[in-house]
């Protein structure tokens, strides 16, 4: 289906994950019905694990969309946790603000409107975790900018790094995605082979890279 895992494997893994928060699950279903590119259920579960292991209190996210993952991550954090998230589409930005308000999380989630390539330089503070989930050609730029803001021992998670299987084999690459594929391959080589990082690329969802900043 998405050319990463066999469908029955994904379906089975997802069936193991039970959500207690009804409102959040309803929100997730609404997003899926609208085909919004929100985190896969099993990716969310892994993020939750990392948040808990890191005891993360602060997270920076690139790519808000309508705010699902921001709200999900704050829910997974201890009370008082905060997420700073960046979104370039005004339409999604407006909707994210609305959704965040409906969950009563305006104090915990700060959304910045504009291109993250420029806006990441204006973000103050340090973070325990970063979640990169936006324009796939710019992951290296996002990563380097987030890296400067990470606390020692922090982790950077990058979503969609296997992009429908195209990153792993030329057989699946469509012409208009060639640049994206080249950039993503370079990115994975970079985070996998630099001594400052330890990276594991997982075939979870659409591909998740997990990087520890040493
Ligand atoms: N993290 C969200 C989904 C993000 S989808 C979730 O799981 O719920 C990716 C989003 O990144 C889109 O809404 C898109 O508009 C935004 N985006 C893409 N490139 C961007 C950029 N350069 N700067 C800021 N946002 C960007
Ligand atoms: Mg994603």
pLDDT at residue 45 in the model = 97
In a mutational test of the pocket of ligand 1, which residue from 43, 67, 134, 159 has the highest number of ligand atoms less than 8 Å from its CB?
A: 134
Q: Which tens digit of pLDDT belongs to each residue from 159-177? A: 999 999 999 999 999 999 9
Domain range summary for the chain, segments of one domain joined by +? 7-213
Structure tokens at 128: 């325990």
CB 65 within 8 A of CB 32: no
Sheet holding 197-202, edge to edge: 109-113, 82-87, 58-62, 127-132, 150-159, 208-213, 197-202
Q: Which tens digit of pLDDT belongs to each residue from 50-101? A: 999 999 999 999 999 999 999 999 999 999 999 999 999 999 999 999 999 9
- Give yes or no for residue 1 having a pLDDT over 60: no
Q: Is the CB of 159 under 6 A from ligand 1?
A: no
What are the angstrom distances between the C-alpha of 51 and each of 82, 84, 157, 164? 12, 15, 11, 26
- Rounded to the nearest angstrom, the distance between the alpha carbon of 65 and the centre of ligand 1 is 5
Q: Which tens digit of pLDDT belongs to each residue from 6-25? A: 999 999 999 999 988 999 99
- Give yes or no for residue 204 having a pLDDT over 70: yes
The residue nearest atom 10 of ligand 1, judged by CA position, is 63
The residue nearest atom 12 of ligand 1, judged by CA position, is 65
CA torsion, points 177, 179, 183, 185, in degrees to nearest 10? 60
152 Cα distance to chain centroid: 20
pLDDT at residue 119 in the model = 98
pLDDT at residue 200 in the model = 98
Q: Which tens digit of pLDDT belongs to each residue from 175-194? A: 999 999 999 999 999 999 99
Structure tokens at 116: 């993250």
Q: Which tens digit of pLDDT belongs to each residue from 103-122? A: 999 999 999 999 999 999 99
Provide the whole-model pTM. Answer: 0.98
Phi, psi at 89, each rounded to 5°: -85, 125
Average pLDDT, the chain: 97
SS (H, E, C) 27-93: HHHHHHHCCCCCCCHHHHHHHHHHHHHHCCCEEEEECCCCCHHHHHHHHHCCCCCEEEEEECCHHHH
Q: Is the CB of 69 under 6 A from ligand 1?
A: yes
pLDDT at residue 2 in the model = 82
| Annotation: CATH topology of 7-213 | Rossmann fold (3.40.50)
pLDDT at residue 20 in the model = 82
Ligand nearest to the CA of 208: 2
pLDDT confidence tier of residue 132, bands split at 50, 70 and 90: very high
CB atoms within 10 A of CB 198: 14
* Among the listed residues 59, 121, 61, the one whose alpha carbon sits nearest the alpha carbon of residue 85: 61
Q: Which tens digit of pLDDT belongs to each residue from 146-157? A: 999 999 999 999
């Amino acid at each position: 289906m998405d050319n990463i895992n066999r469908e029955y494997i994904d379906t089975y893994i997802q069936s193991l994950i039970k959500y207690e928060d009804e409102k959040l699950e309803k929100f997730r279903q609404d997003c899926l019905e609208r085909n919004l590119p929100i985190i896969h259920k099993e990716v969310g579960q892994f993020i939750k694990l990392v948040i808990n292991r890191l005891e993360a209190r602060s997270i920076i996210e690139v790519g808000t969309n309508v705010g699902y993952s921001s709200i999900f991550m704050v829910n997974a954090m201890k009370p008082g946790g905060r997420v700073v998230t960046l979104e370039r589409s005004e339409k999604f930005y407006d909707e994210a603000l609305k959704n965040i308000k409906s969950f009563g999380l305006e104090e915990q989630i700060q959304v910045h409107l504009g291109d993250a390539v420029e806006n990441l330089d204006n973000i103050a503070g340090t973070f325990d975790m970063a979640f990169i989930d936006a324009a796939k050609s710019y992951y290296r730029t996002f990563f380097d900018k987030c890296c400067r803001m990470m606390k020692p021992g922090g982790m950077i998670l990058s979503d969609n790094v296997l992009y429908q299987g195209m990153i792993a084999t030329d057989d699946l690459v469509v012409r208009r995605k060639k640049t994206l594929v080249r950039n993503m391959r370079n990115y994975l080589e970079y985070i996998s082979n630099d001594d400052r990082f330890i990276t594991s690329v997982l075939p979870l969802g659409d591909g998740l890279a997990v990087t520890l900043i040493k």
